[in-house]
Structure 1
Amino acid sequence: MNLSTYYDELTAKLTIKLRELLKTLPPFAKDFFRAIDSTTQVRTRIAYAYDLRVFFHFLIDQNPVYRNYSITDFKVSDLDKIESVDLEEYMEYLKIYVSDENHQHMQNTEQGVFRKISSLRSFYGYFYKRQMIEKNPTLLIDMPKIREKEIIRLEPDEIASLLDFVEHCGDHLTGQRRVYYEKTKERDLAIITLLLGTGIRVSELVGLNLEDIDFKSNGLHLIRKGRKEMTIYFGNEVADALEQYINGSRSHIIPREGHENALFYSMQRKRIGVQAVQNLVKKYAQEVTPLKKITPHKLRSTYGTSLYEETDDIYLVAEVLGHSDVNTTRKHYAAMSDTRRRQAANKVILREHPDHIKNKK
């Protein structure tokens, strides 16, 4: 299976999932999803579908007019019956509500509320633009304010500690735990080194095939968002970790049918998944930096911030990370780094040392 085939199959699975989700929405919603098909990725449309389903369940649960509705009873004309005050109540509802899918309490952060209101605004905007509804109350409410989050990244000493830990944490293990560690050590070290050394997305990493690596040029062939093909380059540390894994533990794996060309394998001898990579990064990182919640995306942030600090070239960082808008890159990576803030720690003296006071007398 080549890289293109992998993404084709993944897109097909996600498309089938989206079609099933659309069956749980009002029939007229299909018009909206058909309209955005060429301008959005299927994962984005799935997220829209989940968000909109929450909105219609809110109306059924909280609005007496729709108490006896099922979600497929809604018509496009019902959108015109919603006032801005209803949407303000919806924003309050989103902070905590009971999921219709698993009947568990769900909580949204500011970002979660913002995304769901953005989805609803796009939904309303489509039907308003096409004059299928007479008003758009989503334009009359204030969007939730998003507080800027500090970029969580690893410092250089933490990077070294993480890689050392992956390489040697099994030295004192025994029995089955030692066996498992030895089976996965080279793979895990290659994965974490690759994430730290290139800043690729975890979705890009799991889609890699063996033939996507060119050790002659230290190049990595990727299919990025929007099916854009691109070659990025890696340094010798990444090359060493990849070669050690490929020539070592990977060469002993007999892959399952259909997974023969995958670069990274799970213990089931299948192409490794996103969740498995997230779990292994979390497992190692929490032992080295317990106060930081490190994910594959945080390793991407670490690479992006380090590259910007080394080159001071925001356009290079944007290109390597695969950002379509350099403003996205500037927002995330051109801020003052944690390293500089740490320099302020000992600049303000709260209380002079007693010995220093004696000397002054």
Structure 2
Amino acid sequence: MEDQLKDFLHFLIVEKGLAQNTIVSYERDLKSYIKYLKTEEHLNSLKDVQRGQIVHFSGKLKEQGKSSKTLARHVASIRAFHQFLLREKVVDNDPSVHIETPKLERSLPKVLNLKEVELLLESPNTNDHYGLRDKAMLELLYATGIRVSELIGLNIGDAHLTMGFIRCIGKGNKERIIPIGNKATEAIQKYLQEGRQHFVSKKYRDDSLFLNHHGKGLSRQGFWKILKRLTQEAGIQKELTPHTLRHSFATHLLENGADLRAVQEMLGHADISTTQIYTHVTKTRLKDVYSQFHPRA
């Protein structure tokens, strides 16, 4: 079973071109699934898997208190795995074909208001190279709405500051060209001129745009720690995630009349229905403003 899992993961990397984080999720989900089949169902071959065993596995995850989002992801991973096995003629049938995906409660993304964005963007102390880097990262995230994985994946050559855009590689290895504003351009230029050289290591060369104190490209965990610290220093009470500035970017664009298709393009959403969630956020905010300020609300 483990060898078939390796073949599937190789297929996802080579044929599908999925992002590393997605591959890791598939691997984690399917390892727990295979472990269940071996230890609980006492199976030695994926040819012997029945629909009921997949249902029992999902039920066990639910008993463990897993969220509907986690359950849905596991089912999607199992379904993709069995479809691959059938296509490769490893098995004769697909036991996952009629398994229902748990319904997800679609919660509205949390966003910052303009005042909170200003507080966060002004929180880095730009008197040292750490502050210059942190300021440039935050300004770029809010200016473009790119994902944190895309931010830390940027190389110096991806920032075309004189032309006013960045080039980033998103999900599915797809390239996007995204315009950046004056504030973000200025912050990145200052970081490149006065800050980045202090992070560069003499031991090896790393062309990543944003470096850590070891001279290597910044990690997701590294950025997350920086964001948590700056949120506290800015006095923002809301719970922020690395996606918060992405959500705020999209919401503020739509609030100011941006075209939904243009926002979809900049965010790199394959399906416009994913982008439409932000229209619900703007409607909710409009209702709040109306209730607060209209004399007959």
Same fold (TM over 0.5): yes
Distance 1:39 1:228 in 2: 11
Q: Which moved more, 1:127-136 or 1:215-224?
A: 127-136
Query: Post-superposition shift, 1:132?
Result: 5.1
SS in structure 2 of the partner of residue 140 of structure 1:
coil
- Per-residue CA deviations over 1:299-332 (Å, capped at 9, x if unaligned) read 11111121222233111011112223323222x3
Within the candidate set 58, 73, 77, 1:91 is matched to: 58
Correspondences of 1:210-289 after superposition (within 5 Å):
210-288=156-234
| Equivalent residue number for residue 27 of structure 1 | 3
Q: Which moved more, 1:110-119 or 1:311-320?
A: 311-320
SS in structure 1 of the partner of residue 2 of structure 2:
coil
Larger Rg over CA atoms:
1
User: Number of matched residues?
Assistant: 292
- Per-residue CA deviations over 1:150-198 (Å, capped at 9, x if unaligned) read 1111111110111233348xxxxxxxxxxxx834111111111111111
How has the CA–CA distance of structure 1 residues 348 and 165 changed in structure 2, closer, same or farther, with 3 Å as cutoff? same
SS in structure 2 of the partner of residue 221 of structure 1:
strand
Give unpaired runs (5+ residues) of structure 1: 1-24, 98-106, 169-180, 350-361
Query: Post-superposition shift, 1:344?
Result: 5.0
How has the CA–CA distance of structure 1 residues 293 and 259 changed in structure 2, closer, same or farther, with 3 Å as cutoff? farther
How has the CA–CA distance of structure 1 residues 211 and 121 changed in structure 2, closer, same or farther, with 3 Å as cutoff? closer
Give unpaired runs (5+ residues) of structure 2: none
> Quick one: which amino acid aligns to residue 109 of structure 1?
S
Query: Post-superposition shift, 1:286?
Result: 4.1
**Contact 2:200–2:211 (8 Å) recurs in 1:** no
Within the candidate set 92, 114, 118, 1:156 is matched to: 114
Distance 1:347 1:147 in 2: 31
Query: Post-superposition shift, 1:39?
Result: 2.1
Q: Which moved more, 1:337-346 or 1:195-204?
A: 337-346
Within the candidate set 31, 41, 50, 2:18 is matched to: 41
**Contact 1:117–1:143 (8 Å) recurs in 2:** yes
Within the candidate set 102, 109, 124, 1:166 is matched to: 124
Matched, 1:335 2:280: yes
How has the CA–CA distance of structure 1 residues 136 and 229 changed in structure 2, closer, same or farther, with 3 Å as cutoff? closer
**Contact 1:256–1:270 (8 Å) recurs in 2:** no
TM-score (norm 2): 0.85
Correspondences of 1:75-90 after superposition (within 5 Å):
75-79=45-49, 82-84=50-52, 86-90=53-57
| Equivalent residue number for residue 272 of structure 2 | 326
> Quick one: which amino acid aligns to residue 335 of structure 1?
H
Distance 1:254 1:269 in 2: 5
> Quick one: which amino acid aligns to residue 270 of structure 2?
S
Within the candidate set 284, 293, 296, 2:242 is matched to: 296
Within the candidate set 113, 122, 139, 2:80 is matched to: 122
